[in-house]
Structure 1
C-alpha cells in the first residue's frame, strides 16, 4: 500500500508468499466467520468472495475479527470496541492486536498467528487464512461450529518399568555398529617422508 515496490531477492520472496494464497480457503474462512456471527446475532454484512482484495477489505480494519472472537468467547472484548468500525489506521491496528491477544488466550499456537501488517498492508494474507483455520479447529474443540479438519488429540502411552528396562538393552539399527572397526591398514595419499 504505502511501501516501495520490492526488487531482487525481496521481490522473489514476496512472490512466493503471494503464490501461497488460496482463494478457495479464504472463501471458506469468510463463510465460517459469517456463520459464527449469524449464530450470535451480530448483524455485519460482508461478501464471502475469496478474492485477495475482498478478503483483505473485509478483515483489515479488525472490526469483523473482534466480533468473531467475542462471538466465540462472549465478553472477552470490551463493548466500546465493538460499537463502530474504526477509520484511523492506528485504531484498526489496535483492534487487530486485541484480536491476536485474545487468540493466544483462546489457545491458538504462536506460530499460527499472523502479524498485524500481514493483514493491514496485505503482506501475507495466507498467514491470516492459516490463523482463521487454527481458530476454527479450536472453536470446534470448544463446542462451536468448526472450520477445516478436526484438531488431533494427544496419544499418551504409559509403559511399565519392566518394558522401559527391556528397551534399554535393544540396539537400534539406527545406531549402527562399530564392531571390528579400526584404522589399521588405511593409507590416504603419499606418506610423509621425514628424510628425502
Structure 2
C-alpha cells in the first residue's frame, strides 16, 4: 500500500477497514491466477502471489488487456502502452468492459482504484477467477471449478397435475404421531 504515490496513509476507522479488506487477500489464489494468466498469454511473468508482485504485474492493465484479447480477439481495440496514470486506468477500464461482455457478473468485477491504488486486490483476484471460469467458453483452459450448465426440463400437463396431489416433505407429516411413550421432563405434581 505504501507504493501508491500521492496517497496519505489511512488512520482510524479507515485503517481498520483497509486492514480487514487486505486480510482477505490470498497469496496462493493470486499465484494460481498469475500462473493461469501466463499460460493464456504466453508471457513470462513472475507468478509469486505476494501482493506487491501481483500489483506490480497487473497495475498498468496491459497484461489484463492482452489476456482478454487472447481469450476473445478484438475485445480491447487499443491498449495504451504509456505509464501515465490515466492511460493505465483506461486499460483497466477497457479490461473490465471486456470482462462484462464475456459474462463476468457485476458482483465479481472490481473497481479501477481497487487495482490502480491497491485498495482491494482480493476483489481483483475474484474477478480474474470468474473470468477463468468463463475461459472454456472461448476455447481456453479454465481456472477453478467448471461452471454449471443450464438443464432445462419440460413436463407434460399430466405430470404437473400429478404433482398437485402429493404432499411434499416440506409440509411435514403426522402419520402415527401420538404422545404415548413420552417420558422425559418433570412429571406433573398435583
TM-score (norm 2): 0.79
CA distance 1:101–1:160, shift in 2 (3 Å): same
C-alpha separation between the residues in 2 aligned to 1:13 and 1:157? 46
Moved over 6 A (4+): none
Corresponding residue for residue 145 of structure 1: 141
- Note the 1:1-196 alignment, pairs <5 A: 1=4, 2-8=7-13, 10-38=14-42, 44-78=43-77, 80-81=78-79, 84=81, 86-172=82-168, 174=170
C-alpha separation between the residues in 2 aligned to 1:3 and 1:161? 66
Q: Is the 8 A contact 1:133 1:147 kept in 2?
A: yes
| Root-mean-square deviation over aligned CA pairs | 2.0
* Count of residues in correspondence between the two structures: 168
Shift of the alpha carbon at 1:141?
2.6
Q: Is the 8 A contact 2:72 2:138 kept in 1?
A: no
Gapped regions of structure 1 (runs ≥ 5): 39-43, 178-196
C-alpha separation between the residues in 2 aligned to 1:67 and 1:118? 19
C-alpha separation between the residues in 2 aligned to 1:123 and 1:18? 8
Shift of the alpha carbon at 1:15?
2.4
Q: Is the 8 A contact 1:60 1:120 kept in 2?
A: yes
